[in-house]
Amino acid sequence: MLADGRLNTGHAGVLLVERRGSYPLIDLRILKTSAQQGEVESGTRRKVKRLLSFQRYCHASRLLRGLVPHTPGSLHLLDDDYLGQAAHMLSKVGTWNFDIFLFDRLTNGNSLVTLMCHLFNVYGLIHHFQLDMVKLHRFLGMVQEDYHSQNPYHNAVHAADVTQAMYCYLKEPKLAEQLSPLDVFLGLMAAAAHDVDHPGVNQPFLIKTRHHLASLYQNTSVLESHHWRSTVGMLRESGLLSHLPADISQDMEQQLGSLILATDISRQNEFLLTFREHLDNQDLDLQLASHRHFILQIALKCADVCNPCRVWELSRQWSERVCEEFYRQGDLERKFDLEISPLCNQQADSVPAIQIGFISYIVEPLFEEWHRFTEPSPLSQTMMGHLHKNKARWSRLRYAHTPSETETHSHADEPEPEGGGGEEEGEDIP
């Protein structure tokens, strides 16, 4: 039986959506964490919501201006804005050593919008779905702006990185020939929006501080449900799919939800066991839409946690960023006398230790099965090579006598060891 996203559509099957900026940032000044209250002060919450909504509206409006193409009907939406180096990077967007940090700098912080527009053109999705270019830009601007740039990890650059990885996976020979335009559209959209409006803290934090999102989603897939419904809200606000029949657009919203909800790490074993069972039984039939959807769920899960499979210099940066986000949550919990969450204690949880555990229990089991699925592809061999080398390097850093942060940076400039797969795989753009 295929794993499926648990979609709560509310009463009478009506999908509940959330407006952008529908909850305040997790902030020391607005969080009430006493045992008696444990809630965000309602008056301050309303003020912050209005402030965020106004700021985001203004930013989105500025983003939209200048993005509209000069030539009516042009499908190359951002041609006028591409700088030479950014355009050169986009010509190699299918390579696994793609440097998303550099690309974000070259696009002046617009990596997600630029990447998505380029990939929509590569696949001809604008023409196929008859998308309005202004509405597309409005939607992508909303998504990019609703990622919190102050988050070290869960920000728009992470979303762009996951989207680029998803593109690499959609190009896998085992998958590419079977995918429909709808599959590609959903895969890219889910990758771009899978963490939108992430507050920079995890679900247990929202539960123990009695955040209203935890109550709304009954402590189950809280963040993922919010990401999905925020995405649906932006789709409807932008009108991107308004020209499609209602039943078609609603089905697309539901499938987006199923993909985004699959990124809930607490459901890792559920998906992994189902994936392994299909591979053992050799019963995956990618001509079936339901089976393709399941593989898209697996591909998105892989893309979401693929950082340890990148080259060391990129992988290390992501590792430091995610641990910094963990440590910030731990500092917040310590300040308010809350129990410090696992992996969030900077004094006890080093970056190398966190990464070794993450690789051993989450990344390796998932990518070993993906390796089997691709039979294996050159890209998969490259990823597994980087994964094993990166794990070995973290192991050396863990047992070094100098502090982990110093060691991490001191090793950053070491040449990458030979072997384990080249980085040239997947350079051909379809």
pLDDT band, very low/low/confident/very high, at 84 (cuts 50, 70, 90): confident
Residue 106 pLDDT > 70, yes or no? yes
Residue 183 pLDDT > 60, yes or no? yes
Does 269 carry a binding-site annotation?
no
Q: Is residue 238 part of a domain?
A: yes
Residue 80 pLDDT > 70, yes or no? no
Rounded Cα–Cα distance for residues 321 and 42 (Å)? 32
DSSP state letters, 344-389 = --TTT--HHHHHHHHIIIIIHHHHHHHHHHHSS-HHHHHHHHHHHH
pLDDT band, very low/low/confident/very high, at 400 (cuts 50, 70, 90): confident
- Residue, of 16 and 289, whose pLDDT is higher: 289
Q: Is residue 6 part of a domain?
A: no
Identify whether 154 is a catalytic site residue.
Answer: yes
Rounded Cα–Cα distance for residues 424 and 95 (Å)? 6
Does 194 carry a binding-site annotation?
yes
Q: Is residue 234 part of a domain?
A: yes
Residue 47 pLDDT > 80, yes or no? no
Catalytic residue among 118, 137, 154, 386: 154
pLDDT band, very low/low/confident/very high, at 6 (cuts 50, 70, 90): very low
Q: Where are the alpha helices (DSSP H) in 38-107?
A: 42-64, 84-90, 100-106
Does 37 carry a binding-site annotation?
no
CB neighbours (10 Å) of residue 386?
24
Which domain CATH number covers 173?
1.10.1300.10
Rounded Cα–Cα distance for residues 298 and 278 (Å)? 12
What is the average per-residue pLDDT within 386-399?
97
Residue 420 pLDDT > 60, yes or no? no
Ranking 60-69, 79-88, 147-156, 315-324 by mean pLDDT, the lowest is 60-69
Q: Read off the pLDDT of residues 197-215 as tens digits, 9 standing for 90 and up.
A: 999 999 999 999 999 999 9
pLDDT band, very low/low/confident/very high, at 149 (cuts 50, 70, 90): very high
Q: Is residue 11 part of a domain?
A: no
φ and ψ at residue 409, rounded to 5 degrees: -70, -30
- Chain mean pLDDT for the chain: 83
Percent of the chain with pLDDT over 90: 73
Rg value, the chain, Cα: 21
Q: Is residue 374 part of a domain?
A: yes
What is the average per-residue pLDDT within 44-60?
41
Q: Is residue 159 part of a domain?
A: yes
Does 11 carry a binding-site annotation?
no
What is the average per-residue pLDDT within 181-205?
98
- Residue, of 239 and 25, whose pLDDT is higher: 239
Does 355 carry a binding-site annotation?
yes
Range of the domain at 339: 17-410
Does 12 carry a binding-site annotation?
no
- How many structural domains comprise the chain? 1
Q: Is residue 103 part of a domain?
A: yes
Helix (H, G, I), strand (E, B) or coil at 28: coil
Does 158 carry a binding-site annotation?
yes
Q: Is residue 134 part of a domain?
A: yes
